[in-house]
Amino acid sequence: MNDLPELSGAELEVMRVLWRSGRMSARETHDAVRDASGWEYSTTRTILGRLVKKGAVAKADSHGLQVYQASVSRPEGLAKLVREFAGRVIQSDPELVVPLFAKAATLSPAELKEIRRLLARLEREERR
């Protein structure tokens, strides 16, 4: 499992776009976040560069164009975020937080199942 590094709010916003859309150029990524963020194109490129450096995003060349893709799957990233949120913010068992996503219908049943599996795996690894 790839591990999602610590991310800023801006970096998470770019990850959300990449999780939703898959491979994108810097311009496409910027266009997807511009209205909500108000960022300049250079800011989006800087954030993408930080995400590549952290290993959360992979950069590749496609027909002379640099494209970016999340190297951490959405369920992997969300499992880590759920675990951190549950532990740090509400001081609860991460498994108790997962049903909130189901009620909000923000994740597919397959994603929920994967998050539960990843949380169980993280729990087992932590006990070692």
Kind of pairing between the strands at 24-25 and 65-70: antiparallel
Spell 111-120 as b/e; 16+ CB within 10 A means b: bbebbbebbe
Q: Which domains does the chain have, with CATH numbers?
A: 9-70 (1.10.10.10), 74-127 (no CATH)
Q: What share of the chain in percent tops pLDDT 90?
A: 44
Helix (H, G, I), strand (E, B) or coil at 55: coil
Q: Residue 99 above 70 pLDDT?
A: no
Poorest-pLDDT segment among 3-17, 27-41, 59-73: 3-17
